[in-house]
């Protein structure tokens, strides 16, 4: 289902299938389902940045209602967030968020013994209830600054 582009909405651009399943689980928990859309996988974190710039920047510039979540694996690289943020035009920085598992979603799934969809659902519940139960997991703690920004802008749109 596509979003209502006349209202504030969020597109999620996942790196791979595991990230897409996390996003789908999150989507199952939101109140306004037409305000979020999980896109096709980009097949690599660099492809997420390339697709964002080639397919979404122009559309975001012409529609101030659009927000983006770039869902990538950090592959245990401290520089990944800085690199990703450098690829985002400054004019869109307030509406683009970079999130992901510190290593990769497979490690998060293995550590929690939950399915990707269940983990996504738990992350959404944390956002809705303004808690950090799942977001506090060691493989997600590096998202704190982006999560704070995300909650400020996106929570009212989805919940």
Q: What is the pLDDT of residue 77?
A: 97
Q: What is the pLDDT of residue 1?
A: 66
SS3 96: strand
Residue 12: φ, ψ to 5°: -115, 120
Distance CA(120)–CA(140), nearest Å, equals: 12
Distance CA(51)–CA(10), nearest Å, equals: 16
Q: What is the pLDDT of residue 86?
A: 98
State the Rg of the chain over Cα: 14
Burial of 132 (0-12, 13-18, 19+ CB in 10 A): middle
Altogether, the residues listed in the chain come to a count of 159
- Per-residue confidence in pLDDT tens, the chain, 159 aa: 689 999 999 999 999 999 999 999 999 999 877 899 999 999 999 999 999 999 999 999 999 999 999 999 999 999 999 999 999 999 999 999 999 999 999 999 999 999 999 999 999 999 999 999 999 999 999 999 999 999 999 889 998
pTM: predicted TM-score of the whole model, two decimal places: 0.96
């Amino acid at each position: 289902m596509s979003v209502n582009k006349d209202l504030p909405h969020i597109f999620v651009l996942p790196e791979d299938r595991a990230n897409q399943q996390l996003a789908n689980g999150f989507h199952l928990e939101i109140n306004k389902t037409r305000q979020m859309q999980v896109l096709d996988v980009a097949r690599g974190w660099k492809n997420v940045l390339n697709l964002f710039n080639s397919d979404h920047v122009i559309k975001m510039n012409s529609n101030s209602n659009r927000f983006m979540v770039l869902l990538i694996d950090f592959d245990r690289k401290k520089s990944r967030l800085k690199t990703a943020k450098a690829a985002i035009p400054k004019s869109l920085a307030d509406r683009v968020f970079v999130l992901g598992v510190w290593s990769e979603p497979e490690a998060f799934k293995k550590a929690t013994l939950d399915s990707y969809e269940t983990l996504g659902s738990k992350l959404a519940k944390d956002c809705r209830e303004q808690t950090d139960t799942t977001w506090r997991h060691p493989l997600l703690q590096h998202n704190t600054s982006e999560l704070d920004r995300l909650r400020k802008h996106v929570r009212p749109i989805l919940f």
